Structure 1
Amino acid sequence: MFDTRISRRAALMGAGAVAAWMHNPARAMLWQAAALPVPAFIDALIAKMTLAEKAGQLTLMPSAWGGGVATALNPASNGPNFDGQLEEVRQGRLTGVFNGNGAEMARRMQTAAMTQSRLKIPLIFAADVIHGHRTIFPVPVGEAASFEPGLAERTARMAAYEAAASGIDWTFAPMVDIARDQRWGRTMEGAGEDVLLGRLIADARVRGFQGKDLKDNDAVLACAKHFAAYGAAEAGLDYNTVDISERTLREIYLPPFKAAVDAGVLSFMASFNEISGVPSTGNSWLMETVLRGEWGFKGFVVSDYTGDMEMIDHGFAADAREAAKLAFLAGVDMSMTSGFYRDHLPDLVEKGEVPVARLDASVRTVLAMKARLGLFEDPFRRIDLKREKARSRTKPALALAREAGRKSIVMIKNDGDLLPLPKSGKKIALIGPFASGSDSLNGPWVVYGDNAQAIDLATGVKAAVADRSLITVVQGSTVEAPLPGGIEAAVAAAREADIVVLAIGESEGMSGEAQSRAEIIVPEPQQALAEAVAAVGKPVVIVLKNGRALALKGAVVNAPSILVTWFLGSESGHAIADILFGDYSPSGRLPCSFPRSLGQQPYSYAHKPTGRPNPSETQLEPYKAHYRGIPNSALFPFGHGLTYGKFEYSDLSVAPTLAWDGELTVSAKVTNTGKRAAEELVQLYTHDRAASVTRPVRELKAFRKVTLAPGASEVVTFKIRRDLLLFIGRENKPTVEPGLFDVWVSPSAETQGVRGSFELKGA
């Protein structure tokens, strides 16, 4: 499956390895097949380039003029100041920079490239536009809770529209890693735990960013990251080791990347982690055999921030020179931040350790991408100071942020129909560290947005009610520390109120890169606040701010109503108020399972049954697969979410057999027995009862949203064909086998809904 440390080092020593690379027909065919269409002038341009200039086209650096958040997220390290970086541009030592300071910075750098460098090759400007540029949308895991790929495409399209106006050509998004351990901080950046949802969101976001034509001045190049299995880090610890089977890799972690390729993504980013002993940045099996060979990827691969440098600390490369060599020959075309390619590729080529043909192939791909982006035709097509201002935080963008926000909210509990709240006649105590103020509204991984411009909860609530004087706002505690007198003030406010809205959870600094949490709980000072407020005896609505699934306990989980609101971005307060007061019925569903206990991690609904499954959640049997005292299931499972309607499932219809080349129809009647119109997410799951490789207890195969008025019903229909039942077999190839399958049409991954079975017949 993977290259090993010893065989790799041995294979790369000496000129014999280089000669083998150059004369290996399979490798040559692989690169030829994976190449982008190349304009005729590019080969002529490459012929004029020195080795140093070629290495420069494969070198990406943090902008020396980033400032503020950009510098904190991606420090320029020991690099030059902006004037020094301009000199590097003049010398042809840079292909571009990332996380720079807007159109003016890009204008000055591009002017230097086009008027003062020898070959006049345009720069490419990149940025972390993860969930919005100036207008900030919900964090990706929150947006995935909408179960609307079309929404994800629209927000990516709007983000590209804004970002491109400030000179950005390329975004380091979407992150398509599957996350099944909620301790991992970067859960917030992806689509959650499910493969199907991950594939659909990957496809949508690539299409949204790249638009109809990459030459358009509102399109940006997308980058699928992190390749691969970054979300499978042991114990959910960021940057940690990954050790999984090839079958697991192909079945769970690779499909969203393949979906991105199929959607037309033209850049990939290598992941920080190793897989089975080989760092991804040095893994030719991933980059060449799978990505370019099997999938026919035509773009280029960039390392993650100092990813090539980190192979030294991994113990995979002896020094910077070897790290550059290993990464480059593994198929990583561009080095980010370390400068290793610029420093060492010319000498590696001169010494015969890297083929010049291989160097030219990567340069050709990068230049072809710049041509695809229209930069050779007009290097300033995305650099326009007036356009930058005109496209920033427009009314349509903010309206979309509000729509995306309310569609991302998941109501996981609503005992006694406490929600929606009345807009008049009731005193509401708005309590908690996220009740008001600009902290943590946008969420993690925002480079250009400003929390001060976002709408906080208090503002949203006050705008929604008839009489603002009925709203009392009390902080109660800080995020991770008690506030002197805070609990006493909160209790006093709760006693005077009819209803308490308790806004608690994680700060934006507790999720994201390098923010793995050993204990995925509401921080103890906030838990103490919740216990004290609950003891007053007033109805409590929990408004949970979070970038991952949390293990809820005590007064938090026992509150009658709980809204999971993630980090919603620019229109946070308005979006939450829309749900709280019933202007919109909640429609989001959990993209990741909320565990019964933090000790259940990693956990996914699509786990294997084991040889000793516990047959019942209500009665735990000895010597069966469960932790002491709790069943092997989620507290709030994947796909779970309530509405202001009440839905019942009935009348399952499924044919007893599916012919090998046929199609089977599964249908169920869904009825809104409640008093309000609402939107239900109807989900189709299957289970292969007996296969040559054991299968998960359930797998999501399709879903559909239906909107029903009170008392209305709809028969929801799904089609199943053989290809929907594929799995990765013993030979690590997609396969499907005849046999019996269970099927559910249900409102979540761990509820019954309606259940039946069918048999797939052999050919």
Structure 2
Amino acid sequence: MDRTAPGQGAGTRSLPELIASMTLEEKVAQLIQLAVPFYEGAAEAGQITGPMESLGISQETVHHSGSVLGMAGAQEVINVQTAHLQANRHGIPLLMMADIVHGFKTIFPVPLAIGCSWDMELAERSAQIAAKEAAVSGVHVTYAPMVDLVRDPRWGRVVESTGEDPYLNALYARAFVRGFQGDDLASDMDRVAACVKHFAAYGAAEAGRDYNTVDLSERQLREFYLPAYKAALDEGCEMVMTAFNTVDGIPATGNVALMRKLLREEWGFDGILISDWGAVKELINHGIAEDESEAALKALKAGVDIEMMTACYVKHLAELVERGEVEEELIDEAVLRILTLKQKLGLFENPFRAADPIKEQEVVFCEEHRAASRELAMRSCVLLKNEGILPLPRESKTALIGPFAQSGDVLGPWSWTGSRDDAVTLAEGMQRLAGDPALLLVAEGCGIESGTAEQLQAAYEAAQAADVIVLALGEHSDMNGEAASRADIRLPQVQLELVRKLKELNKPIVAVLFNGRPLDLHGLFDEADAILEAWYPGSEAGHAVASLLYGEANPSGRLTMSFPYHVGQVPVYYNAFNTGRPQGAPDAQVRYVSQYLDIPNEPLLPFGYGLSYTTFAYGEPVLSAEVLTVEKPILLKVAITNSGAYAGEETVQLYVRDHAGEVVRPVKELKDFRKVWLAPGESAELEFTISEEQLRYYHSDLSYSSDAGAFTVFVGCNSRDHAALSFRLVK
């Protein structure tokens, strides 16, 4: 790697020479990340909870700090960078980092919704657009993608993941990294560096409670939770963020086995490792450090290069070096990794990189980007139920009722640069497509969590005058995301009461859901005639959802996270292990099997599920052979026909089950899928290749290989509804 650093303040010195010229205190300062208000030139300089003095950080430390959290806006970035370079004696520029998760100003659907598109090209395009808007606004690094595998919808951060399947999550991880970083980060000014998070297994927090304990076997960790992180790094992701949780009894931020041995030594990652907000100091709360000094020691030894928003490093690393408890070489390594990314981004030559206030006005939230958001939103919505009600005739008199009828709260969490005022509401979208805007009657009905008798009465009167009722229901965006765990994942009671009241009219009811997690749909699923899961669709929400409701587009989304029948089932997921007494076992008494006494074992809606306005007929699948070998894969062919009246897209899914492994294997695992667009009456033959490599897994000794024996392959429209064929692997 070329480590020369010509340009601003660095002269022609190599990076090691630059580091050698720095004092120990200046090097340590490179390892701290502070929020925007700490910096001169920022519009909100000095306005932060917990002022600089409370962290014990001097102005001199700020002048030599390495990176900024939450910086965006071309002119402000230029102002801050200019002031910083004037104060930094080495002329080392700042890295500007921010949470650009599912869009910058143009907000795309939340990641869980993007996952339901099963469309890697559109996912990559969304990240590319987010990067372009962020880059011109001065951002260098985004804290994305979040690739934590999720199985518990009580956890608020499922909204940031693409779902419960390791194979699919890994595909999305690669797509997002490609979109953010492109092929040539050094010269492509429209890209930003990506930071995969949260390493590792944050999505397995006990009871779905944020920041809670994670306790997994290493085999389970490697089998399910690590593949997506590894995929992001294989795609070239520049940074990794530590998780808040424990892994094998040790918090990730101080976990040498996880960070030094697995991430750096086994996987060969030599990029920047950054803590999450305050996670270094939280080692004290976890109980593996007595004080800030020990927290700093353990985090650095684990390989954490940047401490975010606490001051353990700044306060204690220098004295730890002086006492001989920390080798200065560890600090030098961390500084080198930080400076190397700055060099790769070209910041020594151009510390402002792509920040351009004039171009910013042209690029950010432009019509081209909004059109891409609209397309992805349409493909992310999932039709959960339809008893012949949808699509709506444009001539129908429709009552649009509910707290999301005219709400701009359709962006979802981590859309801090987006604007609810700029978001297209459902009412606006439906008025555009209705045959006559006067045919659309709009009433709120209730708020998200409370309501009044007057609101309910107005909604009832509107519904009485209409032919069909569209209910826009869901969760406030603050009910999702970080620190938003919910034990009760039903719709709020006031919304269920609205459903019950309007059901008395015996008119067709279409429910549109705006939410960030799978819900317990009791009180809605049986009452509504149709349900469209819209998630948080982003800036173009109203246009996208209205296009689906009126049939201008055909729903094609498929769930990537199971919807529970009841919260008591969770975690409930499709790729579970069987038991010695599975439900329905023929040799067991009815009571003495693994089942609930009061609810089904199966989710209400399974992984991969989603309806369309048309229907698809599957032919009998055929295998090219019944024996698979290492050298010779087998082929599966299946014909599919659009047997309905609308053109539509089907997502044909392939699952495999290993019947007798060295350790227990899931009842099925997604191995491949194909998306096919068919006109009414049109047919296509799809072909899948099944190889020995796809049948490998982690054994009890953590070796990764396949076992000879019997397998079943399933092909169909979701993880529940499919045809099955048998084959054997011979080795």
TM-score when normalising by structure 2: 0.95
**SS of corresponding position for 1:382:** coil
The residue number in structure 1 matching 2:427 is 458
Q: Alpha-carbon deviations, 1:111-131, whole Å to 9, x = none? A: 123233210001110001011
Give runs of aligned pairs for residues 99-138 of structure 1, distance below 5 A: 99-138=70-109
Q: Alpha-carbon deviations, 1:705-725, whole Å to 9, x = none? A: 001111222111100111101
Tell me how far 1:446 sits from its aligned partner.
Answer: 1.4
Tell me how far 1:86 sits from its aligned partner.
Answer: 11
Counterpart of 1:236 (choices 199, 208, 233) is 208
The residue number in structure 2 matching 1:61 is 34
Counterpart of 1:141 (choices 98, 112, 116) is 112
Alpha-carbon distance between aligned partners in 1 of 2:215 and 2:342, rounded to the nearest angstrom? 36
Tell me how far 1:624 sits from its aligned partner.
Answer: 1.4
8 Å Cα contact 2:185-2:193 kept in structure 1: yes
Residue 715 of structure 2 corresponds to residue 742 of structure 1: no
Alpha-carbon distance between aligned partners in 2 of 1:86 and 1:345, rounded to the nearest angstrom? 15
Tell me how far 1:556 sits from its aligned partner.
Answer: 3.8
The residue number in structure 2 matching 1:720 is 690
Residue 657 of structure 2 corresponds to residue 687 of structure 1: yes
Alpha-carbon distance between aligned partners in 2 of 1:217 and 1:100, rounded to the nearest angstrom? 17
Alpha-carbon distance between aligned partners in 2 of 1:155 and 1:282, rounded to the nearest angstrom? 34
Q: Alpha-carbon deviations, 1:373-393, whole Å to 9, x = none? A: 110111112222112222110
Alpha-carbon distance between aligned partners in 1 of 2:57 and 2:718, rounded to the nearest angstrom? 53
The residue number in structure 2 matching 1:252 is 224
Q: Alpha-carbon deviations, 1:541-594, whole Å to 9, x = none? A: 110111010110124443111100000110000000110011111110001000
User: Cα–Cα, structure 1 residues 100 and 256, in superposed 2: closer, same or farther, change >3 Å?
Assistant: same
Residue 566 of structure 2 corresponds to residue 601 of structure 1: no
Residue 604 of structure 2 corresponds to residue 635 of structure 1: yes
Alpha-carbon distance between aligned partners in 2 of 1:477 and 1:220, rounded to the nearest angstrom? 42
Greater displacement, 292-301 / 124-133: 292-301
Q: Which amino acid aligns with 1:686?
A: V
Q: Which amino acid aligns with 1:675?
A: A
Alpha-carbon distance between aligned partners in 1 of 2:286 and 2:372, rounded to the nearest angstrom? 43
User: Cα–Cα, structure 1 residues 144 and 372, in superposed 2: closer, same or farther, change >3 Å?
Assistant: same
Q: Which amino acid aligns with 2:26?
A: E
User: Cα–Cα, structure 1 residues 738 and 85, in superposed 2: closer, same or farther, change >3 Å?
Assistant: same
Tell me how far 1:640 sits from its aligned partner.
Answer: 0.3
User: Cα–Cα, structure 1 residues 747 and 449, in superposed 2: closer, same or farther, change >3 Å?
Assistant: same
Alpha-carbon distance between aligned partners in 2 of 1:429 and 1:707, rounded to the nearest angstrom? 33
Counterpart of 2:456 (choices 463, 471, 487) is 487
Greater displacement, 650-659 / 126-135: 650-659
Gaps of 5+ in 2: 5-12
Give runs of aligned pairs for residues 178-197 of structure 1, distance below 5 A: 178-197=149-168
Tell me how far 1:270 sits from its aligned partner.
Answer: 0.2
Residue 318 of structure 2 corresponds to residue 349 of structure 1: no
8 Å Cα contact 1:324-1:345 kept in structure 2: yes
Residue 410 of structure 2 corresponds to residue 441 of structure 1: yes
Counterpart of 1:381 (choices 331, 353, 376) is 353
Counterpart of 1:413 (choices 385, 388, 398) is 385
The residue number in structure 1 matching 2:242 is 270
8 Å Cα contact 1:477-1:525 kept in structure 2: yes
Alpha-carbon distance between aligned partners in 2 of 1:86 and 1:96, rounded to the nearest angstrom? 16
8 Å Cα contact 1:89-1:109 kept in structure 2: no
User: Cα–Cα, structure 1 residues 437 and 77, in superposed 2: closer, same or farther, change >3 Å?
Assistant: same
Alpha-carbon distance between aligned partners in 2 of 1:488 and 1:578, rounded to the nearest angstrom? 29
Q: Which amino acid aligns with 2:719?
A: A
Q: Which amino acid aligns with 2:390?
A: L
Q: Which amino acid aligns with 1:170?
A: V
Residue 515 of structure 2 corresponds to residue 543 of structure 1: no
Counterpart of 2:194 (choices 222, 230, 233) is 222
Counterpart of 1:431 (choices 387, 392, 401) is 401
**SS of corresponding position for 1:147:** coil
Alpha-carbon distance between aligned partners in 2 of 1:717 and 1:597, rounded to the nearest angstrom? 37
User: Cα–Cα, structure 1 residues 90 and 242, in superposed 2: closer, same or farther, change >3 Å?
Assistant: closer
Q: Which amino acid aligns with 2:89?
A: R
User: Cα–Cα, structure 1 residues 455 and 616, in superposed 2: closer, same or farther, change >3 Å?
Assistant: farther
8 Å Cα contact 2:72-2:134 kept in structure 1: no
Residue 702 of structure 2 corresponds to residue 732 of structure 1: yes
Which of structure 1's runs of 4+ aligned residues deviate more than 4 A? 84-90
Tell me how far 1:89 sits from its aligned partner.
Answer: 6.8
Counterpart of 2:142 (choices 157, 171, 188) is 171
Tell me how far 1:75 sits from its aligned partner.
Answer: 8.9
Q: Which amino acid aligns with 1:541?
A: V
Alpha-carbon distance between aligned partners in 2 of 1:631 and 1:727, rounded to the nearest angstrom? 30
**Aligned-pair Cα RMSD in Å:** 2.0
Tell me how far 1:483 sits from its aligned partner.
Answer: 2.3
Greater displacement, 459-468 / 608-617: 608-617
Alpha-carbon distance between aligned partners in 1 of 2:702 and 2:683, rounded to the nearest angstrom? 43
Q: Which amino acid aligns with 1:715?
A: E
Q: Alpha-carbon deviations, 1:517-561, whole Å to 9, x = none? A: 001111110011011112211101110111010110124443111
Q: Which amino acid aligns with 2:265?
A: G
Alpha-carbon distance between aligned partners in 2 of 1:747 and 1:86, rounded to the nearest angstrom? 60
**SS of corresponding position for 2:711:** strand
Alpha-carbon distance between aligned partners in 2 of 1:755 and 1:114, rounded to the nearest angstrom? 65
Alpha-carbon distance between aligned partners in 2 of 1:486 and 1:545, rounded to the nearest angstrom? 20
Alpha-carbon distance between aligned partners in 2 of 1:572 and 1:390, rounded to the nearest angstrom? 22
Counterpart of 1:97 (choices 55, 68, 74) is 68
Alpha-carbon distance between aligned partners in 2 of 1:300 and 1:96, rounded to the nearest angstrom? 12
8 Å Cα contact 1:65-1:100 kept in structure 2: no
8 Å Cα contact 2:93-2:348 kept in structure 1: yes
Q: Which amino acid aligns with 2:542?
A: G
8 Å Cα contact 1:585-1:643 kept in structure 2: yes
The residue number in structure 1 matching 2:559 is 590
The residue number in structure 2 matching 1:754 is 723
The residue number in structure 2 matching 1:43 is 16
Greater displacement, 661-670 / 265-274: 661-670
Q: Which amino acid aligns with 1:582?
A: G
Q: How many residues align?
A: 715
Q: Which amino acid aligns with 2:157?
A: R
Alpha-carbon distance between aligned partners in 2 of 1:632 and 1:189, rounded to the nearest angstrom? 26
Alpha-carbon distance between aligned partners in 2 of 1:97 and 1:267, rounded to the nearest angstrom? 15
Tell me how far 1:630 sits from its aligned partner.
Answer: 2.8
8 Å Cα contact 1:667-1:715 kept in structure 2: yes
User: Cα–Cα, structure 1 residues 48 and 634, in superposed 2: closer, same or farther, change >3 Å?
Assistant: same
Alpha-carbon distance between aligned partners in 1 of 2:179 and 2:58, rounded to the nearest angstrom? 32
Identity %: 44
Q: Which amino acid aligns with 1:435?
A: A
User: Cα–Cα, structure 1 residues 90 and 533, in superposed 2: closer, same or farther, change >3 Å?
Assistant: closer
8 Å Cα contact 1:65-1:101 kept in structure 2: no
Q: Which amino acid aligns with 1:315?
A: G
Tell me how far 1:85 sits from its aligned partner.
Answer: 9.5
8 Å Cα contact 1:503-1:545 kept in structure 2: yes
Tell me how far 1:361 sits from its aligned partner.
Answer: 0.8
8 Å Cα contact 2:585-2:593 kept in structure 1: no
Tell me how far 1:255 sits from its aligned partner.
Answer: 0.4
**SS of corresponding position for 2:37:** coil
Residue 171 of structure 2 corresponds to residue 200 of structure 1: yes
Give runs of aligned pairs for residues 525-604 of structure 1, distance below 5 A: 525-604=494-573
8 Å Cα contact 2:663-2:700 kept in structure 1: yes
**SS of corresponding position for 2:464:** helix
**SS of corresponding position for 2:262:** helix
The residue number in structure 1 matching 2:267 is 295
8 Å Cα contact 1:64-1:85 kept in structure 2: no
Q: Which amino acid aligns with 2:282?
A: E
User: Cα–Cα, structure 1 residues 681 and 336, in superposed 2: closer, same or farther, change >3 Å?
Assistant: same
Residue 442 of structure 2 corresponds to residue 473 of structure 1: yes
